[in-house]
Amino acid sequence: MSTPAHAQATPHPVPPPGTPPRLVLGSTSPYRRELLARLRLPFDCVAPAVDETPQPGEAPAALATRLARAKARDVADAVAAHTTGAIVIGSDQVAELDGQPLGKPGNHARALAQLQTMRGREVLFHTAVAVLRSSTGYAGEAMATVRVRFGQHDDALLEHYLRLEAPYDCAGSAKCETLGIALLGAIESDDPTALVGLPLIHTCALLRAAGLEPLAWAR
């Protein structure tokens, strides 16, 4: 008896021949790790050894680009000795207000001061990503800039938010992927995950250029 057309199973895509190149995320950030995992690709995380101190007069966007490139290069050099053909991702985010970088607050007092300063204002979040594949000489990079307008919230609400989420490791002192979204008035971006820490649209494009098609190898 033939199987009804509506009951036929959808064929699973045939995996490409061989194995995918090793993918390495040059970061220990849990936010970037979670974002890259959305692509359903196997990858490793390696901590880059990069000094993140801004250079004198360095613009926030230039700082993010330089650090993303440096992280990718450092990790690519580290894995080259025992892995041939690895693809390495480096990324960095720098928030900007009035042309000056806003770093990670690190503690409650500095986080509160950041939120008070940004209240009712627009902040730019520059998220750079760099992809290297040393075996082929490929080196690509991209930048996603997100415009974020913060709402008008009194100090008591800012204090309450900080006590609940303790976003002291986040530039801008707010986690937009969770309760921090309630602090914001608007977000403008062409790459929606950039604000969290890794612009996945740009990352996919760079991986393709490096020889790894995310859709072909997703599992």
Give residue limits of the domains in the chain.
21-217
Of 11, 13, 51, nearest to 217 by C-alpha is 13
Type of residue found at 215: L
What's the token pair of residue 59?
């613009």
pLDDT given for residue 182 in this prediction: 97
Integer Cα distance of 126 and 146 in angstroms: 7
Decide which of 172 and 4 is more confident.
172
When the candidates are 1.20.1510.10, 3.90.950.10, 1.20.1250.20, 3.40.50.300, the CATH number that belongs to 21-217 is 3.90.950.10
What's the token pair of residue 16?
């490409």
Mapped onto helix, strand or coil, the DSSP state of residue 3 is: coil
> In this model, does residue 7 exceed pLDDT 60?
no
> In this model, does residue 203 exceed pLDDT 50?
yes
Of 204, 201, 203, 202, nearest to 214 by C-alpha is 204
Integer Cα distance of 138 and 124 in angstroms: 29
pLDDT given for residue 80 in this prediction: 87
Tens of pLDDT along 19-56? 889 999 999 999 999 999 999 999 999 999 999 999 99
pLDDT given for residue 6 in this prediction: 43
Integer Cα distance of 198 and 157 in angstroms: 28
Name 90's Cβ contacts closer than 8 Å, sequence gap at least 6.
26, 27, 48, 67, 68, 69, 70, 71, 72, 73, 74, 75, 129, 130, 131, 132
| DSSP element (H, E) containing 130 | strand 122-133
pLDDT given for residue 3 in this prediction: 39
Q: Which of 44, 92, 98, 155 is catalytic?
A: 92
Active site residue 92: yes
Tens of pLDDT along 149-200? 999 999 999 999 999 999 999 988 999 999 999 999 999 999 999 999 999 9
